[in-house]
Amino acid sequence: MSVAPETAYATITVEPLSPTIGAEIGGVRMGGDVPAQQVAEIRRALLDWKVIFFRDQDVPVEEHIAFGRLFGELEIHPFTPNLEGHPEVVVIHHNERSTSGQNDWHSDVTWRLEPSLGSILRARIIPPVGGDTLFADMHAAWKGLPEPIREKIDGMTAVHSFTRVFGHGLPEEKQAEMREQYPDARHPVVRTHPETGARSLYVNGAFVSHLEGVDEVEGSRLLRLLYRQASIPEYQCRFRWRENSVAFWDNRAVQHYAAFDYLPHTRRVERVTIAGDKPY
């Protein structure tokens, strides 16, 4: 599939993985010295395809961080393991001793009052088979809902909480302390993208606790229906990792799912996350 002339690029190549989501990008070396024109084209490709991929990015971690900073301020995650000496880098490491992975559909850090713009994830150790990551186009997922459901959820608010994932095992006092720093966040069920204007479903089973002002039974039923939209293959692309492959996704427009199907092999990835703004 070729890129339409109106979305042609001068400094990068773009090979789509599906009609609406996912493209592999060529001609880029990740680092802090990427020319301004190429940064602008990478930004445009991210908006066009929602998640973009780079291969063969064998660069020092400092260049991973510097590349991320070209797109905005980087977050420091308060709950996940970070790379020693580099608090901006989240380390996700699983091996034969792991009992679970990130195998659920979600958007990152939606429990923040201002959730992330996006993440740049690099593969460091990849199993011989398995460990793919799937991405879902949540604009397409919203468009695919029956019109009465779209009308019903328009204007609804969902409550997001870190406790649903990161509260497990935290002592009560520590949980209360973290709640002071990261209170429950209220976000629209249907989010408007601040750059493209596209509307997308913005609820996920990892962090949403309930729909505000909706009967609990009815709210749970409705959320289950909305969560299922991410699992429809027509809205997805799937990425097969290799060592030093990179995925850069727009957290405002997609959900992702890391398949946990590679034990007893090891999978290690490292991520920097770009700070975002308040959803509306």
**Which sequence positions are flagged as catalytic?**
106, 108, 256, 271
| Cβ atoms of residues 136 and 21 within 8 Å | yes
Alpha-helical regions (H) of the chain: 36-49, 61-69, 138-143, 147-153, 163-166, 172-181, 216-228
Q: What is the DSSP letter of 79?
A: S
DSSP state, residue 88 = E
Q: Is 50 left (phi over 0), alpha (psi -120 to 50) or beta?
A: left
Q: What is the rounded CA–CA span in Å between residue 131 and residue 222?
A: 30
CA dist 62 and 163 (Å) reads 31
